Amino acid sequence: MPVALIALFVFLVVIVVWNVVIKRSMAEAMVIGFVATTIFAGLQAPQVAAEAIVAASDNEIMYAAIAFIFMTYLVERTGTITRLIEILTAALGRLRGGPAIVDTVASGAMGAVAGGSNTGNAATSGVITGPWMTRTGWSKARAATVIAGNAGLGAALPPSASMVIMIGFAGSLVTTSSVYIALFVAGVYQFLIRMVLIAWFVRRDGIQRVDDEAQTPVREAVRRNWPTMLIFLGAVVPVSITIGPLADLLATSPLADAMGSVSLITWIPVLIILISAIVGWRELPRTPRQWWEFLGGAASKYYAIGALLFFAIAASEVLTSLGLADDVDRLLGPLDIPAWLLVVIVGFFVVLVAGPLSSSATLSAVGQVSLVTLVAAGIDPLLAVIAILVFASTEGASPPASGAIFVASGITGAKPEQTFIPLVVYYVLPFFILGVLIALGIVPVPIT
């Protein structure tokens, strides 16, 4: 009897019902889902639960996630993202279709340095670009479609909570640096596809170039906000010393042992936090009371995301102890399914779950079984991880329950249902196909 698969099914049902039907938080849903999976251990349930909690507490991914959560909070609170968008607006705003281009680049920048949620991505960039688009000839529905479609870049580019979750599930099958680089390349593919879509929308809808005399000159925007761009060093420096020519040089130096212990998922958020604090020091609290309120705002993020990640890791430990990998092998063994068809089935499954759930919640629920299934079918573990992340990044564009759709529609004044079909055609389907092609090795990503 496939106990682990049944436990996984119950886990998924509990999460969806508790979050989507009962409308409670995903953190609560994950706790209840964890408890539900432990019941399948029978008389060993208390021991299995205790071991899973200990394993989650010792997991490096958990501590990296804590750093990522605070990093995202600090970047937003210090206004770093707002100042980056001001530079992008000045540099790209006068191009034909400029507001949509700014939204795309800004969403990519937020994904690369803040790792925020897709819904938050849509809100942060869209509040500026949405009204700007509708004012310069874009229809409300098209503007909302672009904003919601671009929101997926929050999860498509590293670092992100989704990436951290999948690295935790993959364990020794992949390295953090290899996932970071491969996901970055996959994210660039997504970015380029979005830019092509904007060019198509501009031509199809007859969007004209509009000169806005009130727009800040590029030189002035850069002069005021250039220190903000230093935040990208928080990602560039750790990646450079772990991969590439500089890493090879350091490997032969007296610093070789120290460099070998550098963890991307630890040092990227730490450096971005330090740079953000230095660049945005004027926005930091001054008094103990202000610091208490500031840290209190961060604490709410830990409850929402930290609890989700902790119990997702703990639930995955329980499913592993129940024999999930063996159950998948027994299920797939007798079946003669081509690898490409299995990838399509898994991808469709992930995209379907990502409809009502966020990308991080989706991967918490089905990331492990999706990975085990693809690896069992002979897909390279790294390619499997990247493909699953690409599938889950469609969350922002997946109707009808995606938060990004309703945020974008609220900003632009569009009817949400007017965006459903365009989002599926222009954003969900292309990135679903991209994920399939990456898993099959047809679209290349670096394998290191």
What does the pLDDT read at residue 428? 92
Residue stretches of the chain with pLDDT short of 70: 1, 61, 112-117, 120, 210-215, 244, 246-248, 250-263, 300-305, 333, 401, 448
What does the pLDDT read at residue 319? 85
What does the pLDDT read at residue 387? 96
Could you state, in order of their start, the residue ranges of all structural domains in the chain? 3-439
What does the pLDDT read at residue 331? 76
pTM of the entire predicted model: 0.81
Q: What is the 3-state secondary structure (H, E, C) of the chain?
A: CCHHHHHHHHHHHHHHHHHHHCCCCHHHHHHHHHHHHHHHHHHHHHHHHHHHHHHHHHCHHHHHHHHHHHHHHHHHHCCHHHHHHHHHHHHHCCCCCHHHHHHHHHHHHHHHHCCCCHHHHHHHHHHHHHHHHHHCCCCHHHHHHHHHHHCCHHHHCCCCHHHHHHHHHHHHHCCHHHHHHHHHHHHHHHHHHHHHHHHHHHHHHCCCCCCCCCCCCHHHHHHHHHHHHHHHHHHHHHHHHHCCHHHHHHHCCCCHHHHHCCCHHHHHHHHHHHHHHHHCHHHCCCCHHHHHHHHHHHHHHHHHHHHHHHHHHHHHHHHHHCCHHHHHHHHHCCCCCCHHHHHHHHHHHHHHHHCCCCHHHHHHHHHHHHHHHHHHCCCCHHHHHHHHHHHHHHHHHCCCCCHHHHHHHHHHCCCCHHHHHHHHHHHHHHHHHHHHHHHCCCCCCCCC
What does the pLDDT read at residue 347? 92
What does the pLDDT read at residue 315? 86
